[in-house]
Structure 1
Amino acid sequence: MPLKEFAERRNLLHRDSDAQTVLRHALDDVQLGKVAMVSSFGAESIVLLHMIAQINPATTVIFLDTEMLFPETLQYQKDVAEKLGLTDVRIITPARDAVLIEDVDGLLHQADTDACCDLRKTRPLAEALKEFDGWITGRKRYQNGQRATLPLFEKDAAKIKINPLANWGPEDLRAYMDDHNLPRHPLVAQGYPSIGCMPCTSRVSAGEDPRAGRWRDTEKEECGIHFENGKMIRGGKAA
């Protein structure tokens, strides 16, 4: 079955399903194949990670360590994985040879944020996902204009991408974390509602969009690991 048709059928099947049901079926879907979760272990990540742990803690979770993350994120990743009992967290880093050639001084982000994201996120993730037929993300429709029409299932190049929390809002996330007494990322209380790499993430003021601190004062909205209509999203539009 063509992937686009597969995604459309699953969206129809799960149009009234809750996030846990979508997750459970995605992980057990023989037609879909082998699925991993990709997590930033960021501000809201623990909701989906907790759901995964409840369904199958042996699910592969891919964590991209760009080698430019906040120390708090690295510690939070370790603490959450241990607390939830996740047994297959794969920490992926950029290819050493590529970093030495393209960003030996660690300053590429100052000249070209897209190239930096490609080196430290897009290519390492593509390599890590080679053995999988689909991957789970924590994206939500409320996060920005690019995600306003986000489906539960979508064709992503030659794979299926699953977005179980697509229709969740901030209040749903807070309620879930409160109900399950889940630990927050320590930087959230310091004014970082959306957390990426340290050089490209700034504090957000009251009333600002939660993602305003990501690549502030630029048109860039995404790191480049997601696609829209078959085109990679890097800035404010598909490239």
Structure 2
Amino acid sequence: MNVMREEDIVTGGSMSVEEATDRAARLMDQYGHLQGVSLIEPMVHEEFNGRITMTSSFGTEAAALLALVAEVDRDLPVIFLDTRKLFGETHTYREKLVDHLGLTNIKIMRPDEEKLEAEDPNGMLFASDVAKCCYLRKVEPLQRALEGYDAWLTGRKRFHGGERDALPVIEPAGSRIKINPLAGYKREDIEDIFEHRALPRHPLEAEGFLSIGCMPCTERVDPNTTDVRAGRWAGQDKTECGIHYII
């Protein structure tokens, strides 16, 4: 279970919380039966034209959503959180995927250097307060990156389990709306996207990493495990970094 702190929550869209909640309900009624490109297209070009972005970790499954988005709009802003603790292979993979898919608008967000110097001067905060480390390196930068947007696309899926078991396709997130085009996809559906579109794989996947985040908090797992995210914060009472608590 993750503890959500007051400072981990932010509003910031142009809608009020009530307006976002009502609009999400209306969108679910109209589009809730859709997924993949069929859902992305109206969200990007009709409902939130110019006011929608997406986030991507450029991890093992990230290419699936990126490929579908590229089919709809290669110029859609893609937010990438460079925590300064990522594997070098993730940066290399990002560059490869961007080139492969022809993406044109990658927004690389980094932690605030002054805050890092004050709160994590030796870069070891992850060892004593992992939640605070995630906040400084991921949550706060994403708060800044989302300014000016009313909606954002995520690659979350129900089969990842945990808090994602009942993930809706469209959900209110405070004063914004969150779209989850792959919510209902199965593991084999993601594999089909990779195979049919000849997408490159994250180089660390072959080394036993099924879900890839920051280097200190990511471990190899048994490739036969049903828990795709088992290698994230292994042994800790934590399953999410906190960015999906941003509302």
Tell me the SS of whatever aligns to 1:155: strand
Counterpart of 1:78?
95
Aligned-partner residue type, residue 56 of structure 2 = S
Aligned-partner Cα distance in 1 for 2:149–2:128:
33
User: Which of 205, 210, 213 is the aligned partner of 2:228?
Assistant: 210
Aligned-partner Cα distance in 1 for 2:40–2:99:
21
Could you say which structure has the greater relative contact order, defined with CA pairs below 8 angstroms and 6 or more residues apart? Answer: 2
User: Which of 179, 190, 204 is the aligned partner of 1:187?
Assistant: 204
User: Which of 48, 59, 73 is the aligned partner of 1:56?
Assistant: 73
User: Which of 113, 125, 139 is the aligned partner of 2:130?
Assistant: 113
Counterpart of 1:219?
237
Distance apart, 1:5 and its partner CA: 1.8
Aligned-partner Cα distance in 1 for 2:229–2:139:
20
Aligned-partner Cα distance in 2 for 1:192–1:31:
35
Counterpart of 2:7?
none
User: Which of 151, 169, 173 is the aligned partner of 2:186?
Assistant: 169
Which blocks of at least 5 consecutive residues in structure 1 are unaligned? 231-239
Aligned-partner Cα distance in 1 for 2:115–2:30:
43
Identity of aligned residues (%): 41
Distance apart, 1:32 and its partner CA: 7.3
Distance apart, 1:31 and its partner CA: 5.8
Distance apart, 1:206 and its partner CA: 3.8
Tell me the SS of whatever aligns to 1:11: helix
Which blocks of at least 5 consecutive residues in structure 2 are unaligned? 1-17
Tell me the SS of whatever aligns to 2:245: strand
Aligned-partner Cα distance in 2 for 1:88–1:103:
30
Counterpart of 2:172?
155
TM-score by length of 2: 0.89
Distance apart, 1:199 and its partner CA: 0.2
Aligned-partner residue type, residue 119 of structure 2 = E
Counterpart of 2:85?
68
Aligned-partner Cα distance in 2 for 1:159–1:32:
14
Distance apart, 1:30 and its partner CA: 3.9
- Tell whether the 8 Å contact from 1:35 to 1:132 is kept in structure 2 after alignment: yes
Aligned-partner Cα distance in 2 for 1:201–1:189:
15
Aligned-partner residue type, residue 145 of structure 1 = G
TM-score by length of 1: 0.92
Computed over aligned residues only, the root mean square deviation of the Cα atoms, in angstroms, reads 1.5
Aligned-partner Cα distance in 2 for 1:223–1:59:
24
Aligned-partner residue type, residue 222 of structure 1 = E
Counterpart of 2:154?
137
